[in-house]
Each structure stands twice: as structure tokens, then as C-alpha cells.
Structure 1
């Protein structure tokens, strides 16, 4: 006799917010953070803050993430003032896409 399964929307919702899922999201984000720091460029003279971008990655996690605030999420970000310029580039600097590349390669 085949096993039967009845999905519970409430149960799935509880699972998506659970500490277990939040811990997994944190682990994946930390892998991405490590890879991003590894491939991050470090400025050379005349850069007034060499290594600032490389040392400014951080991970945050919550059980109230997502568009509907109904699931565990983790976020990798960079707090350096010039982080957007490094990621997306400017008219004088090529885009490095550090977080994009790390997210595409990392996370398990």
C-alpha cells in the first residue's frame, strides 16, 4: 500500500521560519561571505583605504524575511562607502560583481 502524504500549509510555514532553516541560510551566507572576501579587490596607492572593501562584508539573518516576511533568510552585504561602485562599476571603474560572483558560486 503506497504511503499517503497530506501537506499542511501551516506546517510548511513553520518549517520555513524554523531555526533549522535559519541556521542553514546563515551557513550558506557565511560561505558566500568567505568567498566574496577571498575574491574582493584590495586597492593600491593612491587608494586612501586599501582593504576597506575586503574587510567590510557582513551577514545578517532573520526568521521574518522574504517579501511576505514569512521565512528565514540571510543576507550578505558590504558596508564600505564605495561598495556599490565596486559591485556595479562607474564610468571610470569596471564592475567587479564580487557579491554576484560569490553568490553564484557559493552557498553550498
Structure 2
């Protein structure tokens, strides 16, 4: 006969706020950052700051309200501090979009 299981919502909340979950969020963010760095475009000879975008990736773990309960949980954040990062990601009327972060998240979050 199978044992019965009764989930403790308080216990699940404690698990989701545990250091182990925060460490896993950081691990996944680091994996995404690694892919983003690998596929980041580096400007050619005319670029006034070649490699700056590639070197500007960062990761951190924040606590943000998520889900219906809006309770704060650890989340991994991957970003780029180059002032022009949004234009590399989304493009402009003169530059095609590279979608570096999008492709990195699709490839490296596991």
C-alpha cells in the first residue's frame, strides 16, 4: 500500500527561499552568461570600443515577488552594463538585432 503524501505549503515556501535554490539560480545565470559571452559580437577595426559589450556581462541573485502569492523568491539575473546593450539585443534602423541574451537563455539555462 502506498504512503500518503500531504504537501506543506509552508515547507515549499521555505524550500523556495533556501540557500540551495539561490545557488541554483546563480548557477543557471552563470551558464546563461557563459553562452552570452561566447556569442557576443565584437566590433571590427572601426569599432570605437571593441570587446566592451562582451566584457560587460554580469550576474546576480535578487529577491523578487513571483507567482500569485507575490512572495519574494530568489531569481537569477543576467545583464549587460554596456550603455548600448539594448541596441545590440534589439537592433536599430541601421543595425540588425543580435538577440544575444535571448539566444543565450534558450541555449544555456539548463
TM (norm. structure 1) is 0.94
2:82 maps to which of 73, 80, 83: 80
Match of 1:29 in 2: 29
Q: Distance in 2 between matches of 1:91 and 1:61?
A: 34
Q: Retained in 2: the 8 A contact 1:22–1:73?
A: yes
Deviations 1:44-63 (A, max 9, x none): 1221100000000000103x
Moved over 3 A (4+): none
Unaligned 5+ runs, structure 2: none
Match of 1:20 in 2: 20
Count of matched residue pairs:
107
Match of 2:64 in 1: 65
TM (norm. structure 2) is 0.92
Match of 1:106 in 2: 108
User: CA RMSD, aligned part only?
Assistant: 1.1
